[in-house]
Amino acid sequence: MLSFLVRVLLFAIAISVVRSVVTAVHRAFTSTRTGRPLSSPRSTEQSTTMLQQDPVCGTYVAVDTSLKRVVNGRVVHFCSPECRDKYKA
């Protein structure tokens, strides 16, 4: 009975190892074919998003989606219309 359980356990470990190797090879060929880097999409997105601090409330906002106002030749980023209206140059 014990030898049967050991064989089942070894079989499960072998299947797990084979599956991991196949997945790694598949990812390597897929990323090479599409020209994508091997890093995950999340890490790429996070590294390209720039944040600026709202001078009124201190919240960090994405530059792409923030409300902007030019003050003394400098772009100031705001999180909401309320913060933009409260800001005094």
Checking if the pLDDT of 78 tops 80, the result is yes
3-state secondary structure 1-46: CHHHHHHHHHHHHHHHHHHHHHHHHHHHHHHHHHCCCCCCHHHHHH
* pLDDT digit string, tens, across residues 34-48: 555 555 555 545 556
Q: Which of the pair, 41 or 68, is modelled with greater confidence?
A: 68
Checking if the pLDDT of 5 tops 70, the result is yes
- Please give the Cα distance from 82 to 74 (Å, whole number): 20
* pTM for this model (two decimals): 0.46
Percent of the chain with pLDDT over 70: 79
- Please give the Cα distance from 29 to 21 (Å, whole number): 12
Short-list 53, 51, 50, 49, CA closest to 87: 53
Q: What is the DSSP letter of 73?
A: T
